[in-house]
Amino acid sequence: MTSRRVLLVAAPLLGHVFPLVPIAESLRKAGHEVLVATAAEALKVPLPTYDISPGFRFGPVAAGALLRRPLLLRAELSGTAGTKMVGPLFGAVNRKLLPGLRTAVREWRPDVVIHEPLAAAAATLGVPAILHENSLFAGPPLVEATVGDVPPPIATITIAPPSVVGARTGLPMRAVPHGLDDALPDWLTEPPRRPRILVSRSTVSQPGPDRLASRVIAAATSIDADFVLVRPGARAAAQTLPPNVRVTAWLPLARAMTVSTAIIHHGGAGTVLAALHAGIPQLVVRGAGDRRHNAELVAARGAGIAVDERSIGPEVISRLLSDASLAEAAREVSAEMAAMPHPDEVVPHLPNT
């Protein structure tokens, strides 16, 4: 086998880089050299990294793109903009990253690039490129929305389970959640005495109070279950908590799902896929960006419930625990994902590797 240099490129957000880690680790096991090119918080991966934009801050770039388009911003915040905001937002991000990305290619000389859809500038570098989908949206439309016409990828890796998103072309690969092998705190490894529900919000900083956590806290007193609030907002965490609610600063969420009954969360693609992988039902809040889309897909598959934040209360949480069809559908999708090829099995089929 000939060893290759593989450059993996992600937008500078944790949720964009984490899905690339499994294929990167499998490439290394197969004898290839890998380097992750990204910026800001996405550099916090357990792999060799190259900072292509030192000092990059996502917030100002996002504000500049969003505030100039108030009508589109309103649609984006409600989750109804679809891919219309991708170009203004991630197009601007890619323009910021492109000079450093060119430098990385010039200095490191990769044989192939693997990039996620919203780091599509990587497809313009003159290096054979593989598109690695990392969400419930199909990758090619996101690439086009981000940078326009680019040379087609030499291969596409698709990770979303077909029963949730429909059939897709490309190389199917199991979505292996980040942190699945991380250790849990001792108190979470104890067998639960009753149902355990995780409550999680986005890794992206959100303005305003954490209403999701506050609504769960208010509902918890009337539900026979234990609730674990992962990184709730400061105001929510400072409330007087019922005996069945526990707050934790951080958990390896994917690992925690394997010892939990259900999860209530913000609708990010990584959390959705991790819950499907774990085979637990999920209560997904319709929200900004792709979160409404993700919530509706989960609900349509029957593996969870899609709700608006203000609808979170005892009734819908009780249904999350009592509706056997939700748990059954979640287990079906988990089995479907387990049958998809592991990244170790996909690597030999990647061109140029």
What does the pLDDT average to over 236-252?
Answer: 89
Q: How much is the pLDDT for 51?
A: 98
Question: Does residue 262 have a pLDDT over 70?
Answer: yes
Q: Identify the pLDDT of residue 204.
A: 56
Domain 5-158: CATH class, spelled out: alpha beta
Contact 119, 94 (CB under 8 A): yes
Q: Rounded mean pLDDT of 82-98?
A: 88
Ramachandran area for residue 52 (φ above 0: left; ψ -120 to 50: alpha; else beta)? alpha
Angle (CA) 45 48 53, round 5°: 80
Of the candidate ranges 93-107, 117-131, 199-213, 221-235, the one whose mean pLDDT is the lowest? 199-213
Q: What is the pLDDT of residue 63?
A: 84
Calculate mean pLDDT across residues 69-74.
Answer: 76
Q: What is the pTM of this model?
A: 0.93
Are 270 and 177 spatial neighbours (Cβ–Cβ below 8 Å)?
yes
Q: What is the pLDDT of residue 287?
A: 86
pLDDT over threshold 90, residue 93: yes
Q: pLDDT value at position 1?
A: 53
- Of the listed ranges 49-53, 71-75, 348-352, the least confidently predicted one is 71-75
Contact 95, 65 (CB under 8 A): no
3-state secondary structure the chain: CCCCEEEEECCCCHHHHHHHHHHHHHHHHCCCEEEEEECHHHHCCCCCEEECCCCCCHHHHHHHHHHCCHHHHHHHHHCCCCCCCHHHHHHHHHHHHHHHHHHHHHHHCCCEEEECHHHHHHHHCCCCEEEECCCCCCHHHHHHHHHCCCCCCCEEEECCCHHHHCCCCCEECCCCCCCCCCCCCHHHHCCCCCCEEEEECCCCCCCCCCHHHHHHHHHHCCCCCEEEEECCCHHHHCCCCCCCEEEECCCCHHHHHCCCCEEEECCCHHHHHHHHHHCCCEEEECCCCCHHHHHHHHHHHCCEEEECHHHCCHHHHHHHHHCHHHHHHHHHHHHHHHHCCCHHHHHHHCCCC
Give the pLDDT score at 64: 84
CATH architecture group of domain 186-338: 3-Layer(aba) Sandwich (3.40)
Residue 133 contacts residue 158 (beta carbons within 8 Å): yes
Average pLDDT over residues 237-263: 93
| Nearest residue to 286 via CA among 189, 212, 209 | 212
Of the candidates 100, 13, 91, the residue with the CA atom closest to the CA atom of residue 53: 100
Whether 239 shows a pLDDT value over 70: the answer reads yes
Residue 121 has pLDDT above 80, yes or no: yes
- Going by C-beta distance under 8 Å and a sequence separation of 6 or more, which residues neighbour residue 353? 4, 6, 27, 30, 32, 111, 112, 347
CA atoms of 281 and 267, how far apart (whole Å): 13
With both helix axes pointing from N to C terminus, report the angle between 324-339 and 269-278 in degrees, rounded to the nearest 10. Answer: 90
Statement: residue 177 has pLDDT above 70: yes
**Which residues, at least 6 apart from 328, have a Cβ–Cβ distance to it below 8 Å?**
none
Q: Mean per-residue pLDDT for 182-198?
A: 92
Domain definitions of the chain by residue range: 5-158, 186-338
What is the per-residue pLDDT for 5? Answer: 98
- Between strands 112-115 and 33-38, the pairing is unpaired
Q: Are the folds of 5-158 and 186-338 the same?
A: yes
Amino acid residing at 157: I
128-174 pLDDT, tens digit per residue, is 999 999 999 999 999 999 999 999 999 999 999 999 999 999 999 99
Q: State percent of the chain over pLDDT 90.
A: 80
Is it the case that residue 68 has pLDDT exceeding 90?
Answer: no
pLDDT, residue 53, reads: 97
At residue 208, the pLDDT reads: 55
Mean pLDDT, all residues of the chain: 93
Question: What is the pLDDT confidence band of residue 123, given thresholds at 50, 70 and 90?
Answer: very high
Interval 203-232: pLDDT, tens = 654 555 678 999 999 999 999 999 999 999
Q: How confident is the model at residue 100 (pLDDT cuts 50, 70, 90)?
A: very high
